[in-house]
Amino acid sequence: MSNKACDAGRRDFLKAAAAVVTLAPGVTLMSIPAAAAPRPADQPASATQRWGLLVDTTRCTTDCTACVSACRTENGISGHGRPATDPQWIRKIELRNETTGATHSLPMMCQHCANPPCVDVCPTGASFKRADGIVLVDRHTCIGCRYCMMACPYKARSFVHEDVEDQRPDVPRGVGTVEGCNLCVARVDAGGLPACVESCRSNGNGAMLFGDLNDPKSEIAQRVKTYATTQLRADLGLDTGVRYQGI
């Protein structure tokens, strides 16, 4: 990681933190910038919001895995030393353009599609999309058929192949069911940021931006409007909530 990138990340972090203190003074979040005010527990998620993530691949570096580590800690995901069957909610991928030779590093997770194939194929409706665009798995009705894993274009889901221990209260998991990135839904509902985004800002290079794509004033909406961004497998017409800049 270059010093310049680190400095830029720190600057953005401080800027965003300051902005939040002004906008939402009631929120006590250990000086972490919030994406929105907390949602009261008795109110459902609203379609007026569309949560999204923008990854700036020009800032993401090969040696940095801050997002992956933060996700594992936040969601209580630990492996058994079996990479083929251990769950992965977010992973780092290194790419090389076959024509130009340009290299890119980026995090890959559930793309929180507006038209998610995993939701279409799920026989019981366990795989579902919340009104605010977050794609989730209802662990009570998942029968472990793995059809969603067959359907996902991004390999974003994992099957829990063995017993899980030390679960986090906010993140119920269970052997025999399917799981994937939930965009740290409990943190978002509390007005916070997904753990990966927060860690990318504080420990990484500030390559990840979280916010409401439906709010024209939000930074993510501004960035998506101003710069060319990429939806992975855009040809499938899934309208992903996660966008990439720089690839």
- Interface residues with other proteins (CB under 8 A) are 62, 68, 80, 82-88, 91-99, 103-104, 108, 117, 119-126, 141-147, 149-155, 157-163, 175-178, 232-233, 236, 247
Q: Look at strands 242-245 and 51-56 and give their pairing.
A: parallel
Rounded to an integer, what distance in angstroms lies between the CA atom of residue 22 and that of residue 74? 27
**3-class secondary structure, 245:** strand
Nearest partner of 232 among 99, 84, 53, 32, judged by Cα: 53
- Closest separation between CB of residue 92 and other proteins, Å? 5
Nearer to other proteins, 49 or 105 (CB): 105
Rounded to an integer, what distance in angstroms lies between the CA atom of residue 184 and that of residue 170? 9
- Closest separation between CB of residue 115 and other proteins, Å? 10
Cross-strand pairs, 209: 54
Nearer to other proteins, 7 or 163 (CB): 163
Nearer to other proteins, 24 or 114 (CB): 114
The first and second tokens of residue 62, run together, are 């090969």
- Closest separation between CB of residue 139 and other proteins, Å? 10
- Closest separation between CB of residue 143 and other proteins, Å? 5
Tell me, letter by letter, the H, E, C secondary structure of 115-146.
CCHHHHHCCCCCEEECCCCCEEECCCCCCCCC
Nearer to other proteins, 152 or 184 (CB): 152
- Closest separation between CB of residue 226 and other proteins, Å? 24
Quick one: which H or E segment has residue 6?
A: helix 3-23
Nearer to other proteins, 179 or 189 (CB): 179
- Closest separation between CB of residue 175 and other proteins, Å? 5
Nearer to other proteins, 13 or 89 (CB): 89
- Closest separation between CB of residue 90 and other proteins, Å? 9
For residue 201, the tally of other CB atoms under 10 A from its CB is: 25
Rounded to an integer, what distance in angstroms lies between the CA atom of residue 190 and that of residue 232? 29
The first and second tokens of residue 172, run together, are 């119920």
Nearer to other proteins, 68 or 197 (CB): 68
